[in-house]
């Protein structure tokens, strides 16, 4: 969790906007994957963003690139239906150069040209703490973010070890929705999905909860190179202990293949 922040040209008063931020740092070879969860109490919104940090020539220097950014109203955490998207504080969406320093339980991140600092460098200091379980909306936001960036491994790790993904997009002999059980099977399914098109994108449209805090529903928009226009999906998540116990996705709109439109075929109704 962050404990200090400053700009290269002077102090920064993040408390004035009710700023809270945590970061998960995952090593991937010589690179890092950074997942930021940020809350802004004064704006009533929250974001999850996933960055990759690729090493530069200097020892502590990295090229940091945002790969996905998801925002939603904080009210969604209490079960209130809320539209997602829109601005939420400084939108850190441009690749920048930066530094990563680790010492004991401290982590310092330096990012150049930060919108939090009017284009000057920002220095964040984080301290390692036992992290509480992810809140339902945070878990769904990470699901959308990692899907958007095509990270099958990170998606599977959001599930409980014997968690289940149910989907109706894979043909089965009995005509029932396909079930993928366990992280290995879930990762393999997502790898097939991402390999089926040259590019893809996902966007969170809305979150809704109900009387049961362990269940949350997400309205999503999906687009890839094989489609003529985005698909609308609705995904339900059953959560347990900050992990996904079961997820089921259903189509809200029918797919319209890009190749059929290109050939002059009639689109699906």
pTM of the model: 0.88
Nearest to 103 by CA among 73, 127, 78, 120: 127
Residues 152 and 242 in one domain: yes
pLDDT in tens, the chain (269 residues): 888 999 999 999 898 889 999 999 999 899 999 999 999 999 889 999 999 999 998 888 999 999 999 998 876 554 444 567 778 888 899 999 999 999 999 999 999 999 999 999 999 999 998 877 888 889 999 999 999 999 999 999 999 999 999 998 887 788 888 999 999 999 999 999 999 999 999 999 999 887 888 899 999 999 999 999 999 999 999 999 899 999 999 999 888 887 543 443 344 34
Counting the structural domains of the chain, the total is 2
Rounded to whole angstroms, how far apart are CA atoms 134 and 126? 18
Q: Domain check: are 145 and 251 in the same one?
A: yes
Say how far apart CA 118 and CA 6 lie, in whole Å: 12
Strand duo 96-103 + 122-127: pairing: unpaired
Residues 91 and 167 in one domain: no
| 174, two tokens | 């009995």
Length of the chain measured in residues? 269
| 108 is a domain residue | yes
Q: Both 50 and 123 in a single domain?
A: yes
Residues 222 and 146 both lie in one domain: yes
**How far apart, in whole angstroms, are the C-alpha atoms of residue 224 and residue 193?**
10
């Amino acid at each position: 969790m962050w404990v200090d922040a400053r700009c290269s040209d002077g102090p920064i008063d993040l408390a004035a906007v009710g700023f809270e931020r945590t970061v998960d740092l995952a090593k991937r070879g010589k690179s890092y994957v950074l997942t930021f969860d940020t809350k802004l109490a004064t704006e009533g919104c929250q974001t999850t963003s996933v960055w990759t940090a690729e090493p530069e020539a200097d020892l502590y220097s990295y090229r940091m690139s945002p790969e996905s950014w998801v925002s939603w109203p904080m009210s969604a955490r209490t079960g209130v239906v809320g539209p997602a998207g829109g601005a939420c504080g400084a939108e850190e969406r441009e690749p920048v150069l930066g530094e990563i320093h680790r010492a004991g339980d401290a982590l310092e991140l330096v990012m150049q040209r930060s919108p939090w600092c009017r284009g000057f460098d920002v220095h964040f200091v984080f301290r390692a703490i036992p992290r509480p379980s992810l809140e339902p909306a945070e878990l769904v936001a990470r699901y959308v973010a990692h899907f958007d960036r095509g990270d099958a491994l990170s998606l599977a790790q959001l599930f409980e070890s014997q968690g289940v993904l149910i989907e109706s997009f894979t043909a089965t002999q009995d005509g029932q929705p396909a079930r993928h059980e366990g992280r290995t099977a879930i990762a393999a399914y997502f790898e097939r999905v991402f390999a089926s098109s040259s590019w893809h994108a996902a966007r969170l449209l809305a979150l809704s909860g109900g009387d049961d805090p362990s269940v949350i529903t997400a309205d999503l928009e999906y687009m890839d190179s094989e489609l003529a226009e985005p698909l609308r999906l609705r995904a339900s998540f059953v959560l347990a202990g900050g992990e996904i116990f079961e997820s089921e996705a259903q189509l809200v709109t029918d797919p319209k293949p890009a190749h059929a439109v290109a050939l002059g075929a009639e689109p699906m109704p």
